[in-house]
């Protein structure tokens, strides 16, 4: 490694004056100066800054469990369409502001895989915002009380990927329903989304008080969405009915 490597590291660290004057300083000190030690030192600084930025992005994403795709036990539930999950994990849908829906039985890996894809997006330099529907509802109520709703929305809608977990677990008040619909409506112009749900699609309107608002929100969720159905064994419980999930898959098709 020589002067070019040192200059590159200096510029990456935004030490532009040092980078600009490097050649002159080396020339005045003698062309045979050993640059290996400074190159190694700068490389460590660059790597440390990248690691701190990565950890900061992971923390800001609010992903609850930092688990990678490599940690997922595919053998436990071989009914999962692995090739489809890997297609989602190439993150093209994020660049296209697309929607991915993971639907089906509880405990079959939806949340783990959604979070793992979110983690991969973070490692790729993207920003991610993870939340459950219950926590989103609570955050909206708190933000409105503090007159900070626009700040919350900016965090979500300025992210490259919004992960909305456990759709349908709670029912929303009219006040929160309108704000969630607003988020779903504005999302298509700004960010990609992964949504997971254990609930039958026919029960989704129960999330909203107003059936008209429910219908409009569901339309936003399914607009050009890629759907993956999760069936098979549950990681958290046994004895689930596979027939129910297969019936849901027929409805989506």
- CA neighbours within 13 Å on the CB side: how many for 39? 12
- DSSP one-letter code for 209: S
Among the listed residues 113, 96, 89, the one whose alpha carbon sits nearest the alpha carbon of residue 195: 113
Strand-pair partners of 227? 101
- CA neighbours within 13 Å on the CB side: how many for 15? 13
- pLDDT at residue 147 tops 90: yes
Overall average pLDDT of the 113-123 stretch: 94
- pLDDT at residue 100 tops 50: yes
Overall average pLDDT of the 54-59 stretch: 75
Q: Tell me the C-alpha to C-alpha distance, in Å, between residue 4 and each of 10, 42, 88.
A: 10, 13, 39
Give the model's confidence band at 169: pLDDT under 50 very low, under 70 low, under 90 confident, else very high: confident
Give the model's confidence band at 84: pLDDT under 50 very low, under 70 low, under 90 confident, else very high: very high
Dist. CA 129–CA 157, nearest whole Å:
9
Q: Tell me the C-alpha to C-alpha distance, in Å, between residue 80 and each of 59, 91, 110.
A: 29, 19, 10
Dist. CA 223–CA 20, nearest whole Å:
51
pLDDT tens, position by position, 180-209 = 999 999 998 889 999 999 998 999 999 998
Dist. CA 21–CA 14, nearest whole Å:
13
Write out the two tokens for 2. 């020589």
Q: Is the dihedral of CA 54, 133, 140, 212 positive or negative?
A: positive
Number of residues written out for the chain? 253
Evaluate whether 195 touches 160 at the Cβ level (below 8 Å).
no
Dist. CA 78–CA 94, nearest whole Å:
26
The pLDDT, as a whole number, for residue 21 is: 66
Domain boundaries, the chain: 3-58, 62-252
Least confident of 70-79, 89-98, 226-235: 226-235
Write out the two tokens for 84. 């489809």
Looking at CATH, the fold of the domain delimited by 62-252 is given as Rossmann fold (3.40.50)
Among the listed residues 82, 68, 73, 106, the one whose alpha carbon sits nearest the alpha carbon of residue 232: 106
Overall average pLDDT of the 214-231 stretch: 92
Instruction: Kindly give the residue spans of alpha helices, DSSP state H, lying in the chain.
Output: 3-12, 16-29, 36-61, 82-88, 92-95, 110-123, 133-145, 149-157, 174-187, 211-222, 242-252
């Amino acid at each position: 490694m020589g002067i070019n490597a040192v200059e590159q590291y200096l510029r990456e660290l935004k030490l532009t004056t040092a980078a600009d004057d490097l050649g002159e300083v080396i020339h005045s000190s003698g062309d045979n100066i050993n640059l290996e030690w400074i190159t190694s030192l700068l490389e460590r600084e660059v790597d440390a800054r990248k690691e701190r930025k990565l950890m900061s992005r992971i923390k800001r994403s609010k992903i609850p469990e930092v688990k990678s795709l490599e940690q997922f036990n595919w053998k436990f539930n071989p009914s999962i369409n692995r090739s489809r999950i890997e297609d989602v994990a190439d993150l093209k849908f994020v660049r296209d502001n697309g929607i991915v829906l993971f639907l089906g039985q509880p405990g079959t890996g939806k949340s783990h895989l959604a979070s793992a894809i979110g983690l991969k997006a973070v490692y790729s330099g993207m920003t991610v915002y993870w939340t459950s529907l219950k926590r989103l509802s609570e955050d909206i109520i708190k933000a409105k009380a503090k007159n900070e709703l626009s700040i919350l929305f900016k965090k979500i809608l300025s992210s490259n990927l919004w992960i909305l977990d456990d759709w349908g677990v709670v029912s929303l008040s009219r006040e929160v329903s309108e704000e969630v619909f607003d988020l779903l409506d504005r999302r298509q112009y700004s960010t990609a989304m992964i949504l997971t749900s254990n609930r039958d699609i026919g029960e989704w309107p129960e999330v909203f008080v107003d059936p008209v608002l429910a219908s409009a929100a569901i339309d936003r969720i399914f607009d050009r969405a890629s759907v993956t159905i999760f069936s098979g064994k549950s990681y958290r419980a046994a004895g689930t009915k596979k027939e129910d999930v297969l019936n849901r898959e027929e409805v989506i098709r």
